Structure 1
Amino acid sequence: MRKLLLLTSLILLFVGIPAQAATVQYDETGRIVGALGVDVSGVRYDVLFLEGSCVSLASGCDESSDFVFQSSSQANAASWALINQVFIGGNLGPVDNTYGCDDPAYCGAVSAYWQDGTVGGSMASRQDQGGAIATGVSWFTLDSGYENLSSADYTYLTGAVWSVATVPVPAAAWLFGCGLLGLVLSSRPRPAATPV
């Protein structure tokens, strides 16, 4: 019995907690405004879809600390995560159901990055092709044409503003309760063996 308890305890100790899918956030009209817990290369991020210039969305847009992603490959991974976890994962509604995208045929969410002194953008796009939704990722250097991602200028673009997600710490009562349960189960008196 003691070996079984030890084996069970070890298994439970090393069993991984199942992954949690991204939680998509909607406004009162049903448009996607962001997502919590988007997994980008093993790191969880929160993302908001906002309109505005690079200066307003990236705290000045003039130094590396203004950006979560420091390379095009990181931003591209984030764009693919948007497509796979936010746009496709249960959100196959119309293309223009994302905040900042008012064009019914095309929507691009731009994730900005800083690489070697250059500001770039990776765009997760969805396009309505006669009722079928096509997706893809492209990247570019942000020039004056893409600096302001407002509906007035670009009805098909929105800014994806990323931040590292906070990781919840398990409740102390839960941990304490598991420890007490293990202590109680391991110290219970064993019934005496009865002769046959």
Structure 2
Amino acid sequence: MATHHVMQTTFMDGAKMLADATRLVILAIAISFGAESQAASLNVVGGQLLGASDVIVDGSLYDVEFLGGTCIALFNGCDDVSDFMFQYQAAAISASQALLDQVFLDGASGNFDSLPQLSLGCSDSSVCHVLTPHGFTVSNPGIIDTSDVRNLASLTPGNDTILMKDNVVTLDLATSTNFTYAVWSRPVPEPSTALLMGFGLTGLSWAGRRRNRS
């Protein structure tokens, strides 16, 4: 009888821990999902747009910096497609569209749609081209394929476009007045989300071991 009571208590304790751990995992997922549903956070210093964080591209979060320089200097030598965050044309186009939809906007932080010269790397008041590399021209590995956001100085919605553009890997965009690179990266998960996920998964594992022993 006592043994039966101990087994029943152990089972109930294990079930409670399993339920608690499951709630932690669900909470962590909810926090993560909530972060992905937020608007991009613009990185603005002195009125100039340097980039953005938490840009949603095809359902995932990315950070982006606008930088001048050569492809070789900015993209780990620029000699292999793995040097690029987006390695297919369709993915690079999605990233460019995300810039138009979430970053190059007029708002309280600045008029980054109608005033393209406010983006880092662009001083031309008429247009700013922001290049996202995704591959190499088959006939010439010294030429990269890019998705080009053409951010025009216009108050008319829809005038900005996305073009496909080739670029020489050694060309230094730091000397250009209307071209810059978009350097993308994956953000580090927030500590709170990572901790919750870790605690939840650990709890699930421990509860499973307790149940197996009983």
Tell me if both proteins adopt one fold, taking TM over 0.5 as the criterion. Answer: yes
Matched, 1:126 2:151: yes
State the Cα RMSD in Å: 3.0
Amino acid at match of 1:62: D
Alignment check: 8 A CA contact 1:72 1:115 kept: no
TM-score (norm 2): 0.66
Equivalent of residue 79 in structure 1, options 86, 96, 107: 96
Q: Which residue of 2 aligns with 1:92?
A: 111
Evaluate the alpha carbon distance shift between residue 123 and residue 163 of structure 1 in structure 2; reply closer, same or farther with a 3 A threshold.
same
Deviations 1:15-62 (A, max 9, x none): 9543111110012x2100010011110111110000001101111000
1:170 deviation in Å?
A: 2.9
Separation of aligned partners in 1, 2:130 and 2:165: 13
Point out where structure 2 has 5 or more consecutive residues left out of the alignment.
Answer: 1-21, 200-214
Which structure dedicates a bigger proportion of its chain to helix? 2
Q: Which residue of 2 aligns with 1:69?
A: 86
How many pairs were matched up? 163
Q: Which residue of 1 aligns with 2:203?
A: none
1:95 deviation in Å?
A: 1.6
Secondary structure (helix, strand or coil) at the match of 2:62 reads strand
Q: Which residue of 2 aligns with 1:111?
A: 132
1:67 deviation in Å?
A: 0.9
Separation of aligned partners in 2, 1:147 and 1:136: 23
Q: Which residue of 1 aligns with 2:181?
A: 159
TM-score (norm 1): 0.71
Deviations 1:118-150 (A, max 9, x none): 521111121124x54631111122236x83212
Deviations 1:97-131 (A, max 9, x none): 100000001011111112686521111121124x5
Identity of aligned residues (%): 29
Equivalent of residue 40 in structure 2, options 2, 10, 22: 22
Q: Which residue of 2 aligns with 1:41?
A: 58
Amino acid at match of 2:41: T
Point out where structure 1 has 5 or more consecutive residues left out of the alignment.
Answer: 1-8, 177-196
Amino acid at match of 2:111: L
